[in-house]
Amino acid sequence: MLSPFKISLLLFFFTQFAVAQCAMCKAVVEQGGEEMAEGINSGIVYLMIFPYLIIALAAYLFYRNWKKNNAL
């Protein structure tokens, strides 16, 4: 089974896949015009929000549970 450390190493050493995707997006945006660029930027922001919301929800639930256990 892959440990988080091994997964981190794999992601660190195989970044060329991510770079290739960035070049493809850039080419599409350059050909598509301003409306397409705005749409792609909105999509990126939309996808970026969810990890932060999940972390915030987990922190809130952890805090609420910790506070309830310490009140007893």
Count of CA atoms in the C-beta half-sphere (13 A) of 37: 8
User: Tens digit of pLDDT for each residue in 47-70?
Assistant: 889 999 999 999 999 999 999 988
Residue with more model confidence, 6 or 53? 53
25: nearest Cα among 45, 41, 46, 47:
41
- Going from N- to C-terminal start, the domains of the chain cover 1-32
pTM of structure: 0.51
Residue with more model confidence, 22 or 10? 10
